[in-house]
Structure 1
Amino acid sequence: MENTGRHETPQERDDRNFAELLQELRVTQTGVQILFAFLLGLVFTQRFPELDDYQRNTYVVTLLLAVVAAALFTAPAALHRVLFRRHAKRRIVQVSARFALAGLVFLALALTASVMLIMDVALSRLAGQVTGGCVALLFAWLWLLIPLWLRQMPPPPIPESSGPESSGPESSGPESSGPESSRPDSSRPGS
Structure 2
Amino acid sequence: MGGLGPRDTAPGRHESPEERADRRWAELLQEVRVIQTGVQILFGFLLTVVFTPRFATLQQTDKTIYVVTVLLGAATTGALVGTVTFHRLVAGHRLKPETVLWASRLSLVGIVLLLATVTSALLLILRIAMDNSAVPWVVAGLVGWFMLCWFALPAWILHRYSSRD
Normalising by structure 1, report the TM-score. 0.77
- Counting only pairs closer than 5 Å after superposition, residues 8-157 of structure 1 correspond to structure 2 as 8-155=15-162
8 Å CA contact retained: 1:115, 1:131: no
Provide the C-alpha distance between the structure 2 equivalents of 1:4 and 1:36, rounded to a whole number of angstroms: 43
Pick the structure with more helix per residue: 2
Q: Which runs of 5+ in 1 are unaligned?
A: 159-191
Aligned residue for 1:131, secondary structure, equals helix
Provide the residue aligned with 2:12 in structure 1: 5
**How has the CA–CA distance of structure 1 residues 66 and 4 changed in structure 2, closer, same or farther, with 3 Å as cutoff?**
farther
**Is residue 120–residue 127 contact of structure 1 (8 Å, CA) maintained in 2?**
no
RMSD: 2.0
Cα deviation, residue 104, structure 1:
0.5
Percent of matched pairs sharing the same residue: 37
Deviations 1:135-173 (A, max 9, x none): 211111111111111111124989xxxxxxxxxxxxxxx
Shift of 1:126: 2.1
Task: Look up the equivalent residue of 1:14 and give its one-letter code.
Answer: A
Q: Is the 8 A contact 1:17 1:93 kept in 2?
A: yes
Aligned AA (1:129): P
CA distance in 1, matches of 2:20, 2:58: 51
CA spacing shift, 1:112–1:4, aligned 2, 3 Å: farther
Gaps of 5+ in 2: 1-6
